[in-house]
A and B are shown apart, each in its own frame.
Chain A
Amino acid sequence: MDYILSLIIFFPLVAGILGFLVSQNSIRIYGISVAFIEFMLTIILWIGFNGNTDGFQFVEHVTVISHFGMNYHLGVDGISLFLVILSTFMTMIALIGLNIKKDVKNLIISVLLLEMTMVGVFLSLDVILFYLFWEFSLIPMLYIIGAWGSDKRIYAAIKFFLYTFAGSILMLVGILYMGYLYHATAGVWSFSIPDWQLLILPFNTQLWLFGAFFLAFAIKVPMFPFHTWLPYAHGQAPTIGSVILASVLLKMGTYGMVRFLLPLFPDATIYFVIPIAIIAVIMVIYAAMIAYAQEDMKQVIAYSSISHMGIIILGIFAINAEGVTGSIFFMISHGIVSGALFMLVGCIYDRRHTKKISEFGGLAISMPTFATIYGVMLMASVGLPLTIGFVGEFLSLIGFYKVSWILTLLAGTGIILGAIYMLSLYKRSFFGEITNEKNRNLKDLNGRELAALIPLVVLVLVLGIYPKPLLEPIDFSVKKMIVLMEKKAVTQEAKEFIVKVNSIEGGL
């Protein structure tokens, strides 16, 4: 168990490279098997994980560049554990649901590489290593979108790549500056997150560093007004690309916020809570409205992702255990739900080669199972209690309520607007008579698609009813982090803020 994290990171890489040897007709099953083994490895990790231990577990530490303080440093805690599992799980599901014949070998190898980078991002404790995986994740995604997407795929792929790259490159400067500050304070070079967490920075420095890191994460999330790459990427990407993009890649941004912004720059974070929350609220409402106006099924879900990410950000910037835990849980639930929705759209796209809502109507007649699963996911997406979507949304909002009730109220309109666009989408494509004869004889979901979707449906319900196994470890780590933040905060206001938002009583 000592090296399980390395194993988890590098297994897909090795399997991907070896995948070149596997012949085209067997590669799909190969990919699924690898993803399954990888998923099992993360499950083993979960089993071995001790939910009540401080700090990081399964830590590995090897010095790589000593002059520079760069280490191969891995570890996992409650915050990252489930994101790792989500990554491997969704990769597996996406591969099961894969329905592309063209150059499928390259595709599967890219997906496996992508899996490595995703897992790597969540498991890295060394910031340089984190950055390495963070940037590298762009390359396979570029290829996936650009090579297997629809008409404007190249534009979309380049936009995705450049936008996120441009954002993160500034983070690199921030990372380096942070490393410099650590060196100046501690006298040794270190880029390790646990080390950095102990570093107390003056307020002004925090502000600048916060900005550098925040921009990268904001673009990745993507926050308004940096979101415009996402609709293109989703709209053009193949199903598997959208699934992974929505379910995991976007979470890298919010994960970064939890992992870096909060514990490293507590004062700056608190200083920026309200402005960021305002942006998040704009994002929630604005994206929901745009989602309503869309004509393409996939774009609706893409914009709904933006809207939901707004609530996740709100939860994170609540700086209390409820909000942060909720937002992490919401990351997972959104990963599952939006992944499933994209897959569902993929199913219909495979049949009709269009995603235009106006082309559909009455699908519930010809494809009842499809409609049912879609309905379940839709309800999870609008946050119906007892589905996975509710828990995170509820906790995020309840957390932020303590910070500002009015913003929470405004963000809460997201649940109304969410219902509006989702239901109208559902109505327009599934209800009514069959208006387009092409939809008359569509086949309902086949075995492969069901195999991919049923586990998601089960998870949506099971985790909606019993989220405790996830919430508990997350909550434990989050609480530790908030204690740390309070200890580290240099300004009195920040300290008071943290105490205030974490205590019951008072406040409208």
Chain B
Amino acid sequence: MITLTHYLVLSVILFSIGLVGVMRRKNLLMLFFSTEILLNSVNIGFVAVSHYYGDLSGQLFAFFIIAVAASEIAVGLGLLVLWYKKTGSINLDSLQMMKG
């Protein structure tokens, strides 16, 4: 029998993969992919909890998370385009003007 715990564990495994991606990716675009993974993994959790508690809030949260994810992409890509036009690179290591 699949219990809530299964889903939650799956959710956090995916979340961890997302974290790995966030930490590892130097390609900014791919870094944004990883953030999508973070949000999506949580979505699984929400829907699962919602299912097991028979409560709708989780589904709605997931719904809003999808909305947020979508709008983040729009802004993120916009910024990335701007940066690319300026520097011709989407490598994260090019963002090194400010430090210290």
Do A and B touch each other in the complex, judged by CB within 8 A? no
User: CB within 8 Å of B: which residues of A?
Assistant: none
